[in-house]
Amino acid sequence: MPLALKTYSTVAEAGSALKAADARYLGGGTLVVRAANEGDLSFSTYVRSTDPLLSAIMVEAGVVTVGAGVTMAAVARHPELTAIASAAKAVGGPAVRNMATVGGNLFAAAPYGDFAVALLALDATVHTTAGYLGIDEFLAGRDSSDAVVASVSFAVPAAGKFRFLKAARIKPKGVSIVSIAAVIETDAGGKVTSARIALGCMADRPIRAKGAEKALIGAMLTEDGVAKAVAAVGEGTSPITDAIASAWYRSEVLPVHFRRLLLA
Partner 1 sequence: MAKVPVQFTLNGEEKAEFVDSGATLLKVVRDKLGDTSPKSGCNQGTCGACSVLVDGELRLSCLTLAETCEGAHIVTTGGLAKDGVLHPLQRAFMDEFAAQCGFCTPGMIMAAKALLDRTPDPSRDEVVEALSGNICRCTGYEPIIRAVLTAARANSQNAA
What are the residues binding partner 1 (CB under 8 A)?
2-5, 7, 26, 28-30, 33-34, 36-38, 46, 48, 73, 92-96, 98-99, 172-173
Closest approach, Cβ 214 to partner 1, in A, equals 37
Closest approach, Cβ 17 to partner 1, in A, equals 15
Closest approach, Cβ 7 to partner 1, in A, equals 8
Q: Judged by CB, which is closer to partner 1: 173, or 191?
A: 173
Closest approach, Cβ 23 to partner 1, in A, equals 12
* Sign of the CA dihedral running 132, 136, 150, 161: positive
Pairing of strands 192-200, 207-208: antiparallel
Q: Judged by CB, which is closer to partner 1: 175, or 184?
A: 175
Q: Quote the distance between the C-alpha of residue 184 and its chain's center.
A: 17
Closest approach, Cβ 22 to partner 1, in A, equals 12
Q: Judged by CB, which is closer to partner 1: 15, or 104?
A: 104
Answer yes or no: are the C-beta atoms of 13 and 49 closer than 8 Å: yes
Identify the bridge partners of residue 98 per DSSP, sorted by sequence position.
none
Kind plus residue range of the DSSP H or E element containing 196: strand 192-200
Answer yes or no: are the C-beta atoms of 129 and 107 closer than 8 Å: no
Report DSSP letters for 137-194, one per residue. HHHHTGGG--PPEEEEEEEPPPTTTEEEEEEESSSS---EEEEEEEEEEE-TTSBEEE
Q: Judged by CB, which is closer to partner 1: 102, or 192?
A: 102
Q: Judged by CB, which is closer to partner 1: 188, or 243?
A: 243
